[in-house]
Amino acid sequence: MLSVVIPCYNEEARLPATVDAIKKYLGARGDRYELILADDGSVDGTQKVIAAAMAGASNVRNVHLVQNRGKGRALAEGVAISKGDRVLLTDADLSTPIEELPKLET
């Protein structure tokens, strides 16, 4: 299984498209995966977006840091709860598109 960990800090506007893109791509590939959204103390509506992403999706999980501790801490907390035998760390803006995943698998 693949665990995808995304650190999030004030990503309310960007996160819905990112979650959708990852779900569509990995779903189309038929991959078993989990998506871990690690909220690093966001003060916008990021938690609402995460709750919506989790609704009806048992493979979407949340790590919620109450205060901002930095990207590294958010990633570490997300990796710590991951269940996959492979872990992909990616950013909420998908600066590296999820479609690049096959390049990492070779």
The reported pLDDT for the residue numbered 25 is 98
pLDDT of residue 51: 98
* Domain regions of the chain by residue span: 2-105
Task: State the Cα–Cα distance between residues 27 and 45, nearest whole angstrom.
Answer: 26
Q: Residue 63: its pLDDT value, please? A: 98
Q: What is the mean pLDDT of each run of 10 residues along the chain (106 residues)?
A: 98 98 97 98 98 96 97 98 98 96 90
The CATH T-level fold of domain 2-105 is Spore Coat Polysaccharide Biosynthesis Protein SpsA; Chain A (3.90.550)
> What CA–CA distance (Å, rounded) separates 104 from 94?
15
What is the pTM assigned to this prediction? 0.95
